[in-house]
Amino acid sequence: MFDLNHKFPEFYQFHGRRISKKISESNINLINNKFKKYSIDNDVINLLIKEDYKLNLSINNDFKKIIIEVGFGNGDYLINNAKENPNCLYIGSEVYINGIARVLKYILKYNLENIKLCGINFLYLLKSLKPKTIDEIYVINPDPWPKKRHNKRRLLNSNNLLSMNTLLKKEGKIFISTDSKDYFDEIKLAINKENYFDEVIYACMSDSDIMYGISNYQRKAISKNKDIYKIEIFRN
């Protein structure tokens, strides 16, 4: 990945940090030796440079569903799901290097054959995928960018939500959670503005919701007594 990042820096750039604490020598070696085998970065970049945006992840696979998790962080939710559902293919999109290394370790530890990683900025993955080829997309507590002047960096704006929606197969869904009421309201506005989405549910999650407390960031917010909001978009 470091070689691709060096060669195509624009695809790896994003607002935020790719490295929050120093990457250990062992994580660097792990990424250098194993990332390529478990990643789709090469495929995505090859399409992007040809401006041929139709990566179809269903080709050559027998998986029942294709599920993307955007910004998987330390990867807990991704790894647990992949272990529990070996018949589904999980695409993990994340720019945070230590998170990628952690998931790689678990892929090797549990011999998981149903996770593919994408280390480039999700916006480019979004651009490269063929419409109507994805079953589910999860964005669990995206970076909230709480300062007003940074709001425009938020991933879930109306354009990106529309593009994500076009990737969904019939009966597909997008799940979003956030502990930022302001972001929640902004997403609601973006969705309502479009009159394009088939069915949308907005809710403040209760602690009995199966998606409540499923990730590190969510649990941190819950420990500070914050509400967790969810948005579920369904394609008929």
CA quadruple 85, 90, 94, 97: dihedral, nearest 10? 70
123 binding ligand SAM? (CB under 6 A): yes
Distances in whole angstroms, Cα of residue 158 to Cα of each of 118, 120, 161, 188, 203: 23, 21, 5, 10, 19
CA angle (216 as vertex; 67, 224 as ends), nearest 5: 135
Task: Note if 207 is an active site residue.
Answer: no
Measured over the CA atoms of residue 55, residue 186, residue 119 and residue 4, the dihedral's sign is positive
122 binding ligand SAM? (CB under 6 A): yes
Query: What is the residue type of 1?
Result: M
User: Is residue 114 a contact partner of residue 63, using CB atoms and an 8 Å limit?
Assistant: yes
128 binding ligand SAM? (CB under 6 A): no
Is the CB of 8 or the CB of 87 nearer to ligand SAM? 8
- Interface residue with ligand SAM among 40, 66, 73, 164 (CB under 6 A) is 73
Alpha carbons 48 and 54: distance in angstroms, whole number: 9
Question: Of these residues, 3, 41, 62, 143, which one is catalytic?
Answer: 143
CB of 236 to ligand SAM, least distance (A): 27
- Residue 72: CB partners within 8 Å, gap ≥ 6? 78, 92, 93, 94, 99, 103, 140
Is the CB of 64 or the CB of 150 nearer to ligand SAM? 150
135 binding ligand SAM? (CB under 6 A): no
- Interface residue with ligand SAM among 39, 114, 180, 218 (CB under 6 A) is 218
Query: What is the residue type of 119?
Result: G
124 binding ligand SAM? (CB under 6 A): no
CB of 221 to ligand SAM, least distance (A): 9
Is the CB of 170 or the CB of 224 nearer to ligand SAM? 224
Q: In what order do the strands lie in the sheet with 115-118?
A: 115-118, 88-93, 65-70, 134-140, 168-178, 229-234, 199-204
Each residue 177-216 as x (binds ligand SAM by CB under 6 A) or -, in order, gives: --------------------------------------xx
Catalytic positions are 143
- Residues at the site binding ligand SAM, with contacts judged by CB under 6 A: 14, 16, 70-73, 93-96, 99, 121-123, 140-143, 155, 215-218
